[in-house]
Amino acid sequence: MSDNQRRFFCRMMFLLVCALPTSVVAYWIGHPQTADGWELAIKAQLGVTASIDSIETPGPNVTILRGVELSDPETGTLLKTVEARIEFGKIKNYVGIPYKVQGLTNQGLVRLVKQINQNLIRTHGAEKPWRLEFLKDSVVQQSNLAGFASDDPSQVPNQFTVAGLTIDIVPTIDGTTAKAYFSVPGNDYADRQVVCEMSKSQTHSQLLQLDTNQVSLPCWLVADSVPMMVSITSSLGQDAHFAGKLALKPTRGNSELYIDGTIDFVDLKRSLRHIREPGQQFARIELDECWFVDGVPQKWDALLQHQSSVMRIQAKDLFVSKWEVAPDHAIENTILQHGERAAQLETTPWQ
């Protein structure tokens, strides 16, 4: 046997007898291999409570969790799934959910991403990027139905189906960024992806950016992501849909909200309380690069389309007090003022 062959043989023996067992033992110590161990690890790392029926470890870098439920004291159940497959890679870790999930709500989804962001920052747990992929279409149920008061006691929460939901969690210098992608089956733009990005760091509060890429989304689906949007969307009705861009970011102690797009299926019955017959029930609002700082409009250009009329919504009509945004108040004032002007034109003789 030559010197080169002996050296190669010794190196292989070292890898097989020493290095490989040490690596495997270190991995198994660092990654719990019991259901109870995984529940504790998920609670510590992600800040959510996990219930796991059983686990399977088909390989040193793969763990399958079966009968998984994630919950939160504030929101309740975040999601339930039959199986979650976790793969630890050299560059990126991966979680794949091969079956449809249950219990997924708009509020729970936002809460899950926020909890992961906050806890990974606190524990410095995101040393590598993570990808969470839902391999089947996911049904998201409306959870904030109480915000949409209705006279119909039989009304049930709305549901919305998304396809290819993928969440990438990427570590940054002092925080994490979570970016979600999904498409909407049956939509006119089913081949386009909605992109929603949420970032948080130790020095900056939550940053949110949403681009629907012309896909129309229910307003309630994104309302929980932006605090002021909850009250706004409840004034527009359950059928209101948004298509466009939205960004919420903290700057120098203030919060900025940018919105550019259209809101369709605005329910006028929620706004025109003093008008018995509003005619056509739904209207459309066009928002052109509107910009708010701490809830006060710095740039405002909005149009209300109702039947064959196009009316400009004044910024002064948007607020019922200095800090309270009331779209229903603005819609009502806009239509009333437009009706008064139209009546004046009809009764004024042309010169």
Whether residues 117 and 188 fall in one domain: yes
**Within a domain: 151:** yes
> What pLDDT, on a 0 to 100 scale, did the predictor assign at position 11?
45
- The closest alpha carbon to 328, from 347, 313, 350, 348, belongs to 313
**Within a domain: 21:** no
Whether residues 159 and 306 fall in one domain: no
3-state secondary structure string, the chain?
CCHHHHHHHHHHHHHHHHHHHHHHHHHHHHCCCCHHHHHHHHHHHHCCEEEEEEEEEEECCEEEEEEEEEEECCCEEEEEEEEEEEECCCCCEEEEECCCCECCEHHHHHHHHHHHHHHHHHHCCCCCCEEEEECCCEEEECCCHHHCCCCCCCCCCCEEEEEEEEEEEEECCCEEEEEEEEECCCCCCCCCCEEEEEEEECCCCCEEEEECCCCCEEHHHHHCCCHHHHHHHHHHCCCCEEEEEEEEEEECCEEEEEEEEEEEEEEHHHCCCCCCCCCCCEEEEEEEEEEEECCEEEECCEEEEECCEEEEECHHHHECCCCCECHHHHHHHHHHHHHHHHHHHHHCCCC
> What pLDDT, on a 0 to 100 scale, did the predictor assign at position 81?
94
Both tokens assigned to 336: 């009333």
**Within a domain: 71:** yes
Q: What are phi and psi of 164, to 5 degrees?
A: 65, 35
pLDDT tens for the chain, 351 residues: list them.
Answer: 454 444 444 444 434 334 434 343 344 445 557 888 888 888 887 788 999 999 998 888 889 999 999 998 888 888 999 999 999 888 888 999 999 999 988 888 888 877 776 676 555 555 778 889 999 999 998 876 545 555 455 556 788 999 999 988 887 776 778 888 999 998 888 889 999 888 776 666 667 889 999 999 998 887 776 656 666 777 788 888 999 999 888 766 677 888 999 999 988 877 776 555 545 578 899 999 998 887 788 899 999 998 888 899 888 877 665 556 677 777 878 887 776 554 343 333 333
Say if residues 166 and 131 touch (Cβ distance below 8 Å). Answer: yes
Q: How many domains does the chain have?
A: 2
**Within a domain: 213:** no
> What pLDDT, on a 0 to 100 scale, did the predictor assign at position 25?
38
Whether residues 185 and 89 fall in one domain: yes
Whether residues 91 and 148 fall in one domain: yes
Q: What are phi and psi of 23, to 5 degrees?
A: -65, -45
**Within a domain: 291:** yes
Give the domain range for residue 270.
Answer: 226-351
> What pLDDT, on a 0 to 100 scale, did the predictor assign at position 151?
47
Whether residues 338 and 269 fall in one domain: yes
Query: Please, which residues bridge with residue 309 across strands?
Result: 306
**Within a domain: 204:** no
Between β-strands 194-201 and 207-211, what pairing exists: parallel, antiparallel or unpaired? Answer: antiparallel
The long-range contacts involving 252-256, CB below 8 angstroms and separated by at least 24 positions, are 254/293, 254/294, 255/293, 255/294, 255/295, 256/291, 256/292, 256/293
Return the number of other C-beta atoms located less than 10 Å from residue 208's C-beta: 19
106-123 helix and 35-46 helix, angle to the nearest 10 degrees = 80
Whether residues 239 and 192 fall in one domain: no
> What pLDDT, on a 0 to 100 scale, did the predictor assign at position 324?
60
Whether residues 300 and 175 fall in one domain: no
Whether residues 85 and 133 fall in one domain: yes
Q: Determine the residue type at 6.
A: R
Say if residues 224 and 234 touch (Cβ distance below 8 Å). Answer: no
Radius of gyration for the alpha carbons in the chain, expressed in angstroms and rounded: 26
Say if residues 27 and 21 touch (Cβ distance below 8 Å). Answer: no
| C-alpha torsion angle, residues 74, 178, 195, 330 (rounded to 10) | 50
**Within a domain: 157:** yes
> What pLDDT, on a 0 to 100 scale, did the predictor assign at position 154?
54
Whether residues 59 and 190 fall in one domain: yes
- The closest alpha carbon to 64, from 91, 102, 96, 41, belongs to 96
> What pLDDT, on a 0 to 100 scale, did the predictor assign at position 7?
47
